[in-house]
Structure 1
């Protein structure tokens, strides 16, 4: 019997429902890869003051990663976008397949980390610190209410290479996010673990207006671990503008990790 292909677990960025990955997930499914969406508590919460980065990560770990790895014995690829890099990185800590095997644990584990312009933060660091300590002008704080934020203008910052016919859909998809998610510290990240040496890939979005290239390069250098990097000439959200290109790149990487 052929070995099952790994499950791809998507961690969306802030301000976005995980359904933003639907186009890309469908292409992964067509290639034989099951997909699962993690959710973040910080996405339009009823009480923004109750949100922390750690709670986002713990929620994803308990509700998504642990059931896949421990209960279903699945091999997993953690796929993160933007703020999803903070959540997915912390949620996957200690869950590499090689570490679990060394500990005598049966079943699955995380076999690789794919960051699509994912935010890289160190243990104890906040995302706000990682972007320089001040919010960029397109982050509208305390909007639409205290403790929440949105991005405006949406198209210029997130989707500057997306067909203009999708403008209404993209703007309608802007969901308020808790500011506390960006202002509370992260736990230990999986990417810092040696078990992921040779199993970290970072897709750099060269024309990104949200996380500019200089920030991406700074995060990679600061991480002090080795990443495979791939440059794509896109905006912040190529899973919307060029999903087939992203899928082709990723499937090639997944195949190597599953060998």
Structure 2
């Protein structure tokens, strides 16, 4: 790779971009221009996964592309769901063929959902709501789901003081974003062959390793995979290891 691409990093449900404050400087130190963004559905009711996808595509990525920037998109947890439709036809190869500047040169999912509706797929609304109850407290009238407040769920291997501080910053998440389905999966496009990766977290509680493996195997495409011996939040528990793994994957991408 002649010059290093920019990195855009998106955390998942309930989490704001500041939860990435430990890993972003490490990626910057490796020579990347790195951006952290919060998905639109954090703290805002009635935002759908399609709204998040449009936000990622039009308001986060497109401004960089207009500057002719080459970008790696890194997504964690829920952020992988809207990312799937958002990245359709955004690879630099596809954009160049249409005479457009910039584009994605790779995607990295970090213990992230590859399927619609936070992994529940096309099932009935009530079944989805019941499943989402595992993750927090649901208020249907407000169209919000509040995160679980026990530290072990998200932050089992994170320093307790840091875990408490992060938990205090979490916001309720749009319930609609977790109930609406996606039908487009940009990562399946041939252009992403050789530049799509999945980082598994072996001790993850919200997305157990068996489910991570199932999603990868059922995705219909080949992923370059790595394993971290961490829980759901490696950007807090092992930021050095996460940043090194991301760097290694990018260096190996076939662009």
- TM-score scaled by length of structure 1: 0.89
2:221 aligned counterpart, secondary structure: coil
Which of 68, 73, 94 does residue 89 from structure 2 map onto?
94
Asked if the contact 1:44–1:175 (Cα under 8 Å) also holds between the matched residues in 2, the reply is yes
Quick one: distance in 2 between partners of 1:174 and 1:19?
10
On the 8 A contact 1:11/1:88 being kept in 2, the answer is: no
Aligned counterpart for 2:71 among listed residues 73, 76, 82? 76
String of CA shifts for 1:156-186, please: whole Å, max 9, x gaps. 1111000112233022122110111011122
Asked if 2 retains the 8 angstrom alpha-carbon contact of 1:29 and 1:35, the reply is yes
Q: Which runs of 5+ in 2 are unaligned?
A: none
Evaluate the alpha carbon distance shift between residue 6 and residue 13 of structure 1 in structure 2; reply closer, same or farther with a 3 A threshold: same
Q: What's the RMSD between the two structures over aligned residues?
A: 2.0
- In 1, distance between residues paired with 2:119 and 2:32? 34
Cα distance, 1:59 vs structure 2: 1.3
Determine the structure 1 residue equivalent to 2:19.
20
Whole-Å Cα distance in 2 between the matches of residues 154 and 199 of structure 1?
36
For 2:117, the equivalent position in structure 1 comes to 126
Q: Quick check: 2:85–2:186 contact (8 Å CA) kept in 1?
A: yes
Structure 1: 4+ residue segments shifted above 6 A:
none
Residues 100-158 of structure 1: per-residue CA shift (max 9 Å, x gap): 2233x24311011100011101xxx4335249842252321118x72111221341111
Deviations 1:40-86 (A, max 9, x none): 221111xx23x2110111012111111111x1000000100001111
2:201 alignment partner, one of 184, 188, 205: 205
1:142 aligns with 2:139: yes
The count of corresponding residues between Structure 1 and Structure 2 is 249
2:175 to 176, 179, 201: 179
Deviation at 1:38, TM superposition (A): 3.1
Q: Residue 120 of structure 2: SS of its match in structure 1?
A: helix
1:187 CA displacement:
4.5
Distance 1:137 1:79, change over 3 A: same
Structure 1 unmatched ranges of 5 or more: none
Paired residue for 1:254? 250
Aligned with 2:155 (options 159, 165, 171):
159
